Amino acid sequence: MKLAVVGATGLVGSEILEVLGEHNFPFDELLLVASERSAGKKIAYKGKEYTVIGLKQAVAEKPDVAIFSAGGGTSLEWAPQFSEAGTIVIDNSSAWRMDPSKKLVVPEINGKSLRIDDRIIANPNCSTIQMVLALAPLHEKYGIKRIVVSTYQSVTGTGKDAVDQMMAERSGETAKMVYPYKIDLNVLPHIDVFQENGYTKEEMKMINETKKIFEDDSIQVTATAVRIPVMGGHSEAVNVEFHKDFDLTELRALLSNTPGIIVEDDPANNIYPMPLNAHKKDEVFVGRLRRDETQANTLNMWIVADNLRKGAATNAVQIAEYLLEHSMV
């Protein structure tokens, strides 16, 4: 197994390396790839020093699997070149997610749809992954009719420059602006670019990717995506209306018994999910489970996950693990 991590110097790339180590992902050779700016840089990993290489050199090495997290433009240009060289690309950017010929995969939900001839596999948006993972068992049992979601998203979702902006503001230094406004001590109802319909691209990703992953265009989704000055993960307030009614105790048990989900829901003891606790964890945390008393068959819930983990690195590594387990690589 020759494995390439493209975007290895970035936030998601670094997290991928951590997850590969924690999961004991088996590889014989590891290629760390970034832009030409970083070529030649050294990265220490598991007691060994690796030299960062550029994309051209990486393609020539014909890796078996390449996990990309280097932006949509890089993926659009380079993923096809890798796949032509025989590499299976697992892509964290939004470049291929809505391409009808590409699978959009959360292994626990639709890993079974993967086939040996899938050469570019898309990893969903971070906010989408944590929401659909928590909703999947409920959708199967009660059938989702409509989702109203508001997000509270970590600056780590924007990348290393955004973390630098927030930290510089926090320590009173002049910050290189990644956001149009100050982010520390502020809240921005603006993630990714605004679209003609008034929604942001991030909001439309949540709407469209949810339907694609559940293979159900009839599910109504509406979203408001908000950036907050937090680092450990993304939080989401989700109001979900089902076709069938539910029993709250049964629903809680259903979530508790689903792999990858941890229910933290004990209001009497102030137990609920928070980014501070989700940080560096692979699981999705769910709490504040309660009926929406204004509408039948409707639930309010709070979902938190480390966007760099299940929202990006962990999900991508799990896809690679699935391919290995099913002899597709």
Ligand X SMILES: NC(=O)c1ccc[n+]([C@@H]2O[C@H](COP(=O)([O-])OP(=O)(O)OC[C@H]3O[C@@H](n4cnc5c(N)ncnc54)[C@H](OP(=O)(O)O)[C@@H]3O)[C@@H](O)[C@H]2O)c1
Q: What is the rounded distance in angstroms from the CA atom of residue 41 to the CA atom of residue 85?
A: 25
Q: Which of 190, 234, 279, 326 is catalytic?
A: 234
Of 113-142, binders to ligand X (CB under 6 A) are: 126
Query: Taking the complex as a whole, how short is the minimal distance between the CB of residue 161 and ligand X, in angstroms?
Result: 6
Q: Does 9 bind ligand X (CB under 6 A)?
A: yes
Q: Is 10 annotated as a binding residue?
A: yes
Q: What is the rounded distance in angstroms from the CA atom of residue 110 to the CA atom of residue 296?
A: 29
Residue 245 structure tokens: 């009614």
Residue 111 structure tokens: 């890993």
**105 and 113 Cβ atoms separated by less than 8 Å:** yes
Q: Is 38 annotated as a binding residue?
A: yes
- How do strand 42-45 and strand 234-242 relate by DSSP bridges? unpaired
**329 and 88 Cβ atoms separated by less than 8 Å:** yes
Q: Which of 19, 43, 55, 255 binds ligand X (CB under 6 A)?
A: 55
Q: Is 9 annotated as a binding residue?
A: yes
Whole-angstrom CA distances from 283 to 73, 264, 307 are 29, 12, 10
Q: Is 227 annotated as a binding residue?
A: yes
Residues with Cβ within 8 Å of residue 85, at least 6 apart in sequence: 59, 60, 62
Query: Taking the complex as a whole, how short is the minimal distance between the CB of residue 154 and ligand X, in angstroms?
Result: 7
Q: What is the rounded distance in angstroms from the CA atom of residue 166 to the CA atom of residue 140?
A: 40
Of 206-225, binders to ligand X (CB under 6 A) are: none
**Considering beta carbons, is residue 165 or 298 the nearer one to ligand X?**
165
**Considering beta carbons, is residue 139 or 205 the nearer one to ligand X?**
205
Of 27-46, binders to ligand X (CB under 6 A) are: 34-35, 37-38
What DSSP designation does 95 have? Answer: S
- Binding marks (x or -) toward ligand X, 145..184, rule CB under 6 A? -----------xx-xxx-----------------------
Instruction: Note if 126 is an active site residue.
Output: yes
- CA 221 from centre of chain: 18
Residue number closest to ligand X, CB atom:
10
Instruction: Note if 234 is an active site residue.
Output: yes
- How do strand 234-242 and strand 298-305 relate by DSSP bridges? antiparallel
Q: Is 74 annotated as a binding residue?
A: no
Annotated binding site: 9-12, 37-38, 97, 153, 227, 307
Contact residues for ligand X, defined by CB under 6 A: 7-13, 34-35, 37-38, 55, 69-72, 74, 92-93, 126, 156-157, 159-161, 307-308, 311-312
